[in-house]
Structure 1
Amino acid sequence: MTVAKSLVLFVLAALAEIGGAWLVWQGWREDRGLWWIAAGVVALGAYGFVATFQPDPHFGRILAAYGGVFVAGSLAWGVVVDKFQPDRWDYVGAALCLAGVAVIMYAPRR
């Protein structure tokens, strides 16, 4: 149950951070206005809170592992939202990052 909870929290964090950054991007670069930027800032703030619910007590470990989730999640966001087409090296890189997440967060420890 702890691993499942952790994975759900990583997905929620990715949606909040990537979605928030995307909203800021849309507001500024695509001239959609300050409301988009404000919504992005709120989503980015929510990302900061989501990490606090991770079962592991070590901030550095959680943030390091989340980096791998962010990489894979950003590529997935690009595919779904921006119709970006990753190449095989994008997929290889994302897989390596997710393997790193698994090692950092879920390897057996004493």
Structure 2
Amino acid sequence: MVYGIYIAAALAEIAGCFAFWAWLRLGKSGVWLAPGILSLMLFAYLLTLVPTTVAGRAYAAYGGIYIAMSLIWAWLAEGQRPDRFDLAGAAVCLIGAAIILLPSRV
């Protein structure tokens, strides 16, 4: 359940940030900003669903998931396949996120 929330939050954040990237860096229409803002609002809401009493811990564990999902986004949405260093870095980050998430602290 928690991993699902983190994955959904990562997709929402990446999509929202990509909307701004598309507008500022790729010259897309400012219309991209409206769904981008909504997506970032969804991201913030989803992180509040993580069952922890400490927001910082939720964000710390989220960081590892975000990194892995960003590489998947780069591959699927932007055509940039992760290389071995991307994969190694993501693995380290996911291990870190798992270490933070594994103990039952709720």
**TM-score, normalised to structure 2's length?**
0.93
**1:74 is matched with which residue?**
70
- 2:21 maps to 1:25: yes
| Identical aligned residues as a percent | 37
Contact 2:64–2:93 (CA<8 Å) still a contact in 1?
Answer: yes
Aligned pairs (5 A) from 1:1-110: 5-108=1-104
- Tell whether the 8 Å contact from 1:25 to 1:37 is kept in structure 2 after alignment: no
- Structure 1 length as normaliser, TM-score? 0.89
Cα distance in 1, alignment partners of residues 12 and 79 from structure 2? 19
Distance 2:30 2:102 in 1: 40
How big is the shift at 1:107? Answer: 2.8
Q: Distance in 2 between matches of 1:107 and 1:92?
A: 24
Is the CA contact 2:64–2:97 (under 8 Å) kept in the aligned structure 1? Answer: yes
Contact 1:21-1:44 within 8 A present in 2 as well: yes
After TM superposition, which residue ranges in structure 1, 4 or more long, deviate above 3 angstroms? none
Secondary structure of 1:40's aligned partner: helix
Segments of 5+ residues of structure 2 without an aligned counterpart are: none
**Alpha-carbon distance in structure 1 between the residues aligned to 2:52 and 2:76:** 30
Aligned-partner Cα distance in 1 for 2:65–2:78: 19
Q: Structure 1: which amino acid aligns with 2:44?
A: G
| Cα RMSD after superposing both structures | 1.5
CA shift, 1:35, in A, is 1.1
- C-alpha distance after superposition, 1:17-71 (max 9, x if no partner): 0011111111221121111022112111111110011112210110001111111
